[in-house]
Amino acid sequence: MKMELIQPFINAADAVLSQGLQGSTKVGNLTMEEEAYRRKGVAGMIALTGDIEGRIILDLEPQTAVKVASHYAGTELPESDALIKETIFELANQVVGNAISALNDQGFHFRVHPPLLLTSEQGDKTSEDTEALMICFETSLGNVFMNVALRYNRKRLSDHAAVGA
Amino acid sequence: MEQFAPVKRSKDGQPVRYLIVDDSVFARKNLARMIETFGGQVAAEAGDGLTAISEFDRTHPDIVLMDITMPQMEGIEAAERIVQQHPEARIVMVSSVGYQENIVAALQRGARHFVQKPVKPEVLYEVIKYVLGDDGAVANAAGAGA
């Protein structure tokens, strides 16, 4: 997978987590995943289609999600499925929104689909040209995992090239 | 969270009243908390563009903080409709999707400013003061930190 596709997502996640949680965020392990995605906690997925295709998964332990939500609200919030889902979706939207802003300003256009909750333990296996990168962000409130699997849409890119030629 | 010198309405010294529009309860809570640190008051909240229009008509807030991507009606369209009916409306778009096309579209359709998520309180505070202009006044307050 091309690093220039992934870097905006790493930068965005780093910015969202460190600004939102007002603490330093450390980028921990980076691993390539060729096998099917294995959920760690509660995971939200956002799909992208267009010049770049694929998906981004944000995965948090439920307790970490509650701590994040409580931090944002400025008060201790009780754990609930709705709160956990809401927290993960908003974080995922912010990360993807920031990343696609950077990519869009570079000329890439795509559609961002609404977040989905991943309920199965295991996701789809990645294909040859969309192997996934798993990044662990270590924050003061717990680890946040981001799994990015993206590829260029060759047809769209060649269409652009043909129009530009 | 940092405390800011309260921004009041200059005409009557009352707190600035806000309408917060975002489909995420989590994001609305976060903005509401920031507004409190600015000395403001949440007049109403809405989770989509259509509700935002009716809540604007009902509460006539001083400032609207409007997300862009929402169900039923997106924020830019809601902003445009509100401004058509109320040209004096001060709408600040608050979105994680901050690319040029989006910002320009929002400003062309009546929004006064754009703030990218994650929202930094000090940035939003400055934008609020700018958008209020002479209609807002920064009050001196003991313990204010900005």
Q: How does pLDDT run across B91-128, given as a tens digit for each residue?
A: 999 999 888 888 999 999 999 999 999 999 999 999 99
Identify all chain A residues contacting B95, using CB atoms and an 8 Å cutoff.
97
Q: For residue B121, what pLDDT is reported?
A: 93
Q: Do the chains contact at B118 and A20, CB–CB below 8 Å?
A: yes
Q: Which residue has the higher pLDDT, A30 or B53?
A: B53
Q: Are the beta carbons of B99 and A72 separated by less than 8 Å?
A: no
| Chain B residues touching residue A86 (CB < 8 angstroms) | 24-26
| SS3 annotation, chain A | CCHHHHHHHHHHHHHHHHHHCCCCCEEEEEEEECCCCECCCEEEEEEEEECEEEEEEEEECHHHHHHHHHHHHCCCCCCCHHHHHHHHHHHHHHHHHHHHHHHHHCCCCEEECCCEEECCCECCCCCCCCCEEEEEEEECCEEEEEEEEEEECHHHHHHHHHHHC
B98, A87: Cβ pair inside 8 Å?
no
At position A161, the amino acid (one-letter code) is A
Q: Is the minimum CB–CB distance between B37 and chain A shorter than 8 Å?
A: no
Residues of A in contact with B42 (CB under 8 A): none
Cβ <8 Å between B25 and A20: no
Q: Does B141 score more than 70 pLDDT?
A: no
Q: Model confidence over A64-84: pLDDT tens digits?
A: 999 988 888 778 888 888 889
Cβ of B96 within 8 Å of Cβ of A87? The answer is no
Flag whether pLDDT at B16 surpasses 90. Answer: yes
Contacts of A16 in chain B (CB under 8 A): 96, 117-118
The CATH superfamily holding the domain A3-164 is: CheC-like (3.40.1550.10)
**B69 at the A interface (CB within 8 A)?**
yes
Which of B99, B100, B124 should one mutate to test binding to chain A, selecting the residue with the greatest count of A CBs within 10 A?
B99
pLDDT reading at B143 higher than 50 = no
Determine whether domain B9-127 maps to CATH 3.40.50.2300: yes
Chain B hits for A95, Cβ within 8 Å: 96
Query: Which residue in chain A has the smallest CA separation from B115?
Result: A98
Contact at CB, B26 and A105, closer than 8 angstroms: no
Nearest-neighbour CA in chain A from B15: distance (Å): 21
From chain B, pick out residues whose CB is under 8 angstroms from the CB of A20.
118
Select the residue of A69, A97, A105 nearest B96 (Cβ to Cβ).
Answer: A97
**Position A147 pLDDT exceeds 70:** yes
Asked if the model's pLDDT at residue A30 lies above 90, the reply is: no
Q: Does residue A152 have a pLDDT over 90?
A: no
Over 90: is that where the pLDDT of B19 sits?
yes
Q: What pLDDT band is residue A111 in, cutting at 50, 70 and 90?
A: confident
Domain locations along chain A: 3-164
Phi-psi region of A54 (alpha: psi -120 to 50; beta: other; left: phi over 0): left
